[in-house]
Amino acid sequence: MKYLIILADGAADEKIDELGGKTPLQASDLKHANKLAQLGQIGMVNTIPAGMSPGSDTANLSVLGYDPAVYHTGRSPLEAVSMGIELDEQDACFRCNLVTLTEAETEYGEKKIIDHSAGDISSEEAAILIETVNERFGTDAIHFYPGVSYRHVMIVRNGSIDYDLTPPHDVLGQRIAGHLPKGEDAGSIRAMMAASYDILDPHPVNASRRERGLNPANSIWIWGQGRKPRLDSFYEKYGVKGVAISAVDLIKGIGICAGLTAVSVEGATGTLHTNYEGKAEAARTAFEAGADFAYIHVEAPDECSHQGDLRGKIKSIENIDTKIIGPLSEYLSGTGEAYRILILPDHPTPLSKRTHTPEPVPFVLYDSARHLYDANNAFDEEAAAKGLYFANGYELTDYFFGR
């Protein structure tokens, strides 16, 4: 038996007037996903435990079979693992975004976040800026590490994580004063963020970006704190060995901690223009090499939602269907082996809110060994609401693997 999970990050949404009262999933041409839905099972699953933040860290842990209420120790430590950073038990790990703030205001707190991803800044440009930040703020105890695009990590050796920190994508367009770090000793982080603006705003990298009509990465934003993660072995849980395929360090880190092999795909960016075909080919290669399981994570729908890009979101969902779901379902069918495919978002990211929400998400589960047919089944919120329901994401994963 081969197992494939395709995670369309943030694809779930609300009905939109511009789409005639349809959601982006309903408005998308999903020939392959809907065919699998008609031949399989559909339903809704709650991936976010009550009281927990609806982040991709929490949700992807849930989808991979780990109860976030038990296993979640923070987002950034998972990213740090993917980046090869060695963490001690008492190290504090933080996500460090490069963001775009408004420039007219004199006071840092009066500025607003225009863009949580600094215009999807390239990893090469970002690495230069993070090196500058590390030269200014790095010490024996504090170090900044460059990641992918706008996503980076700050490690504080023997540091505290007792802060109230806000994800930047939750406060897009808002005055930042009320969303800056809070808690005992949080003043040092606030001061670092404010000082980073004075360093980064005039930086030559940002001067070049402005000349090209791109958003400058003119401030760091610290959030997502946590400690060294601990996950049980995925093989011991489900008896399969496999790969995690993603452009983002968070998903790779979860995979590594679970004992999966993290696969990097050239041209995988986490944006609308990611290498969809390369991800599908990476899964096929893994299966041909003997893997039992592949987890493909595609960030693009989520990023389009954060940017308020309706057409981009639909395009990204359709790309997942035509460039990943279609080719891989055809490949698996041609192997002659039994296989199962699970397709779902991790959480909704409504375009109207431009951030994550905790509502249940739709899923499609196809099992080549079960002969089902329902012409009314489809991969969307409305159809799935009439199907199965799982109160916890890890329960769906157990069901998927026949546990």
Amino acid 218 reads: N
pTM: 0.86
- The whole-number average pLDDT for the span 4-14 is 98
Mean residue pLDDT of the chain comes to 96
Q: What is the DSSP string of 148-193?
A: ETTEEEEEETT-----B---GGGSBTSBGGGGS-BSTTTHHHHHHH
Q: Is the pLDDT of residue 403 over 90?
A: no
Percent of the residues in the chain that have a pLDDT greater than 70, as a whole number: 100
The CATH number of 2-73+230-400 is 3.40.720.10
pLDDT at 184: 87
Q: How far apart are CA 123 and CA 269, in angstroms?
A: 9
Looking at residue 110, what DSSP letter applies?
G
Tens digits of residue pLDDT in 106-161: 999 999 999 999 999 999 999 999 999 999 999 999 999 999 999 999 999 999 99
Tens digits of residue pLDDT in 296-330: 999 999 999 999 999 999 999 999 999 999 999 99
What are the tokens at 312?
A: 């981009």
Q: How far apart are CA 88 and CA 75, in angstroms?
A: 16
Q: How far apart are CA 145 and CA 123, in angstroms?
A: 12
pLDDT at 371: 82
Q: Which residue ranges make up each domain of the chain?
A: 2-73+230-400, 92-226
Q: How far apart are CA 281 and CA 274, in angstroms?
A: 13
Helix (H) or strand (E) holding 100: strand 92-101
